[in-house]
Amino acid sequence: MGIQLKSARVERWDVAGDFVISRGARNHVDVVVAAIGVDDLVGRGEGTPIYYQGEDALMCRDQILRAMPHIAGMESAEARAAVQEILGPGAARNALDCALWDLEAQERGVPLWQLAGAEAAPSPRTTALTISLAAPERMAEQAARAEALGYRLLKLKLTGEGDRERVAAVRGGAPEARLLVDANESWGQLDLMEEAEALLALGVEMIEQPVPSGTDALLDGIYAPLPFVADESCHTVADVARIGAFYDGVNIKLDKAGGLTEALRLADAADEAGLAIMAGCMLSTSLAIAPAFILAQRARWVDLDGPALLARDREPGFRYERGTILPPGV
Give the whole-angstrom CA distance, residue 229 versus residue 211: 11
Residues 150 and 108 in one domain: no
Residue 242, in any domain of the structure: yes
pLDDT of 24 reads: 63
Q: Which range among 17-31, 42-56, 151-165 shows the weakest confidence by mean pLDDT? A: 17-31
Domain that holds residue 9: 4-115
Residues 221 and 74 in one domain: no
The region, left, alpha or beta by phi > 0 then psi within -120 to 50, assigned to residue 116 is alpha
* Strand-pair category, 276-279 with 301-302: parallel
pLDDT over 80 at 20, yes or no: no
Residue 140, in any domain of the structure: yes
Residue type, 278: M
The region, left, alpha or beta by phi > 0 then psi within -120 to 50, assigned to residue 192 is alpha
Residue 80, in any domain of the structure: yes
pLDDT of 21 reads: 65
For 112, half-sphere exposure in the C-beta direction (CA atoms, 13 angstrom radius) is 22
pLDDT in tens, 123-142: 999 999 999 999 999 999 99
CB 88 within 8 A of CB 36: no
pLDDT in tens, 171-229: 999 999 999 999 999 999 999 999 999 999 999 999 999 999 999 999 999 999 999 99
Residues 148 and 105 in one domain: no
Residue 307, in any domain of the structure: yes
Give the whole-angstrom CA distance, residue 281 versus residue 50: 11
Residues 145 and 275 in one domain: yes
Residues 277 and 176 in one domain: yes
46 Cβ contact list (under 8 Å, min separation 6): 31, 32, 33, 34, 94, 95, 98, 284, 285, 287, 288
Give the whole-angstrom CA distance, residue 52 versus residue 255: 12
Residues 150 and 258 in one domain: yes
DSSP 8-state symbol, 219: G
pLDDT of 17 reads: 79
Residue type, 54: G
pLDDT over 80 at 18, yes or no: no
Residues 146 and 244 in one domain: yes
For 18, half-sphere exposure in the C-beta direction (CA atoms, 13 angstrom radius) is 13
Residue 120, in any domain of the structure: no
Residues 77 and 37 in one domain: yes
Number of domains in the chain: 2
Residues 131 and 106 in one domain: no
Give the whole-angstrom CA distance, residue 71 versus residue 76: 9
Q: What is the pTM of this model?
A: 0.95
pLDDT in tens, 63-77: 999 999 999 999 999
Contacts 24+ apart (CB under 8 A), 102-110: 102/43, 102/44, 102/45, 102/291, 103/3, 103/36, 103/37, 103/38, 103/41, 103/42, 103/43, 103/76, 104/43, 104/76, 104/77, 104/80, 105/43, 106/41, 106/43, 107/38, 107/41, 107/76
Residues 103 and 199 in one domain: no
Closest to 94 in 3D by CA, of 32, 51, 36: 32
Query: Can you name the residues that pair with 320 across neighbouring β-strands?
Result: 325
pLDDT over 70 at 117, yes or no: yes
pLDDT over 90 at 47, yes or no: yes
Q: Which range among 10-19, 80-89, 199-208, 279-288 shows the weakest confidence by mean pLDDT? A: 10-19
Give the whole-angstrom CA distance, residue 4 versus residue 228: 43
Residue 275, in any domain of the structure: yes
Residues 111 and 133 in one domain: no
Give the whole-angstrom CA distance, residue 82 versus residue 65: 15
CB 74 within 8 A of CB 107: no
pLDDT of 119 reads: 92
Give the whole-angstrom CA distance, residue 109 versus residue 270: 30
Average of per-residue pLDDT values in the chain: 96
Domain end point (choices 91, 115, 139): 115
CATH of the domain at 220: 3.20.20.120
Domain end point (choices 68, 85, 115): 115
Hey, which residues are catalytic here? 157, 253
Domain end point (choices 84, 115, 146): 115
Give the whole-angstrom CA distance, residue 163 versus residue 255: 28
Residues 90 and 139 in one domain: no
Number of helices followed by number of strands (H, E) in the chain: 11, 14
CATH of the domain at 89: 3.30.390.10
pLDDT over 90 at 115, yes or no: yes
Q: Confidence class of residue 330 from pLDDT cuts 50, 70 and 90?
A: confident
Residue 314, in any domain of the structure: yes
Residue 158, in any domain of the structure: yes
Residue type, 172: G
pLDDT over 80 at 311, yes or no: yes
